[in-house]
Chain A
Amino acid sequence: MSARRVAQVPPLRWVLGLRSFWKQHRLPPALPLLIVIVFLVCAVFAGLIAPHPQNQGELSKRLLPPTGMAKADSSYLLGTDGQGRDILSRLIYGARMALLISIVSIALTAALGTFIGLLAGLFGGKLDMVVMRLVDVSMSIPAILIAVLLAAVFGASVQNVIIIVIILIWPAYARLVRGETLSVKQADYVALARVAGCSRLTIMRRHILPNVLPTVLVLMSLHVALVIVMEAGLSFLGFGIPPKYATWGSMIQQGYQQLQTSWWVAVFPCIVIVLTVISFNILGDWVRDRLDPKLRQV
């Protein structure tokens, strides 16, 4: 009886109000947003939040299980790894590295790729042909092979991971922006600007760029998750960030050999990567639907 009565009680009014407010303003999905906010806070304030240093462990405290299991140490909430380093702290510092790599590389790539795409679309001819050929070729070698080759050439460092990511994803921007430019170029206002005597650079800056920008923003937001996965994959293969920094990929790499005896070393970074990537994917889809729904196929 009592169960039925509970079921009939209407949900609290403020919950309903919040929900309709959310829907009305087409705000992003709440749970992914929350996860991303936690990720950002951890990344920015890693030094303040992390209870232990990222890279100094105590060998006497190696492979401690997470709190709640037998023999756990309560100051290490998620346990420690093979060198006695706190997993939670390394996850928090790993968020910082993931954020750093994705922000820097995506911003640089978007600028570079957009510029190349604009030039190719606007000037056409030989330049366009060369750029498109380069795009075709770099898209026809599997990305991970390029990454491995580049990592072998440049060696492992933070800058080099950023360079590798840029080389891998610039073709997407160049191709997209070129296509958009070609269609915007046909617009009457561009013809009018040309008749009015605007130079090609002015046309590019004043008339074409603002029209292409939303598309670029959408691609950038969709790329965050991709770059996080790329960085983790490179670090997992041992071609990524040098070991003096904690990254999710290298944590998994160090932990998966001990999966049988101490599962927590690899499993927690796995969970964190999955949650972060899915959240960024969902938010990326939301940005796309808000800004540029016709990109659904991309």
Chain B
Amino acid sequence: MGRQLAAAFGRVVVTLFVASLVVFLLLHASGDPARLLVPWTATPERVAEIRSSLGLDRPLYVQYGKFVSHAIRGDFGESLVFRRPAMEMVLSRFPATFEVIGVALGLALLFGIPLGVYSAHRRGSWFDKSARAFAAVGQGIPSFVMGIILIFIFALGLRVLPTSGRGGITHLILPALTLAIYVMVALLRLTRSSMIDVLGTEYIKLARLKGLRESRILWRHGFRNGAMPVVTFAGIMIVGMIGAGVVVEAVFAWPGVGGLIVSSVQARDFPVAMAGVLVITALYSVSAFVIDLLYGWLDPRIRRTQ
């Protein structure tokens, strides 16, 4: 188990390293930030001066090396535009992003899994058919279109919720729902197909013969075994939601990390963009790592082979 952990941790580090290199090169290929910091009338000497004061005139590998050695110590440099520590800016946006993602994930799990289990249980019924239709429609609607549809109905039509911005609970509902539907539908489909496989097995028949209550059969005997792909997927989804969240944040003018990354890329604000992308990549790698651990807990068979 110790070796397994070390190997998994090594994968996280390699992923972060390659990701940081790719992002670093891409951002540097995208343009010269010094040009954007000075007025159009600035002399070439002035631009060169700024460039050297920011260390942008040094060879690329020196700049990258400096970045890595600082990053390891937790220093991601200063925003070129706002003159604030980059990491601080990214982290200050995290509560808003986590708020939406947390609520959305909660909603998705709360509705997606029971709907999936029940629709597998009542396979072929009207409930199942309408759940599947809902899933097909929900999957076909891109998140920004879903956001606009929800704004159209609830904010402009019924006038019960605000259209955008961050404030009380009411501001949270639409963005969270937009993100949630996307995940809920996927969870529903996955849970349904996984449960259909499980419900056809011998041990479920045995549980029925034993005369167990149906809810116990479904959840303790059925879902415990059918949960594996669902757990994997829920983990991947957390990050997928950060990605989809970029668009949703744009639709609802929500002040989260995604919006910050987009605006800092547009402003060629390297340190902030780097810090943001790295934090999100780290989040993904770590959640993949946690999922590996969860496997062992959910399925003792895997624990034994390890």
Binding site for B on A (CB under 8 A): 133-134, 136-137, 140-145, 148-150, 152-153, 225, 229, 232-233, 236-237, 252, 256, 259-260, 263, 266-267, 270, 273-274, 277-278, 281-282, 296-297
The answer to whether A229 and B142 have CB atoms under 8 Å apart is yes
The answer to whether the Cβ of B280 comes within 8 Å of any Cβ in the partner chain is: yes
A148 to B245, CA, bound (A): 13
A232 to B139, CA, bound (A): 15
Q: Report which of B151, B152, B262 forms a contact with A237, defined as CB distance below 8 A.
A: B262
Chain B: interface residue count, which band? 35 or more
Cβ contacts under 8 Å, B178 to chain A: none
Cβ contacts under 8 Å, B15 to chain A: 136-137, 140
B20-28, B44-52, B112-120, B169-177: which one contacts chain A? B20-28
A-B contact pairs, 22 of them (CB 8 A): A140-B19, A141-B19, A142-B242, A142-B243, A148-B261, A148-B265, A152-B27, A152-B30, A152-B31, A152-B265, A153-B27, A153-B29, A225-B140, A237-B250, A237-B262, A252-B148, A259-B148, A260-B156, A263-B156, A277-B142, A281-B139, A282-B136
A30 to B208, CA, bound (A): 41
Residue of B nearest to A279 (CB): B140
Residue of A nearest to B229 (CB): A297
In the complex, number of A-B residue pairs with CB atoms less than 8 Å apart:
120
Q: Report which of A137, A140, A270 forms a contact with B148, defined as CB distance below 8 A.
A: A270
The answer to whether the Cβ of B100 comes within 8 Å of any Cβ in the partner chain is: no
A141 to B20, CA, bound (A): 10
Residue of B nearest to A140 (CB): B284
The answer to whether A137 and B144 have CB atoms under 8 Å apart is no
> With A145-B261, A273-B145 as given contacts, are A150 and B280 in contact (CB-CB < 8 Å)?
no
Interface centre among B23, B136, B246, B250 (most CB of A within 10 A): B246
The answer to whether A152 and B141 have CB atoms under 8 Å apart is no
Query: A141-B281, A237-B250 given. 5 additional CB < 8 A pairs?
Result: A140-B19, A144-B258, A149-B30, A152-B26, A233-B144
The answer to whether B152 and A263 have CB atoms under 8 Å apart is yes
The answer to whether the Cβ of B183 comes within 8 Å of any Cβ in the partner chain is: no
Cβ contacts under 8 Å, B137 to chain A: 274, 278
Cβ contacts under 8 Å, B244 to chain A: 144
Q: Mark B270-306, 1 if CB is under 8 A from A, else 0.
A: 0001000100110011001000000000000000000
Residue of B nearest to A228 (CB): B142
Residue of A nearest to B143 (CB): A233
The answer to whether A144 and B243 have CB atoms under 8 Å apart is yes
Q: Report which of B143, B246, B266 forms a contact with A145, defined as CB distance below 8 A.
A: B246
The answer to whether B26 and A266 have CB atoms under 8 Å apart is no
Cβ contacts under 8 Å, B19 to chain A: 137, 140-141
The answer to whether the Cβ of B225 comes within 8 Å of any Cβ in the partner chain is: no
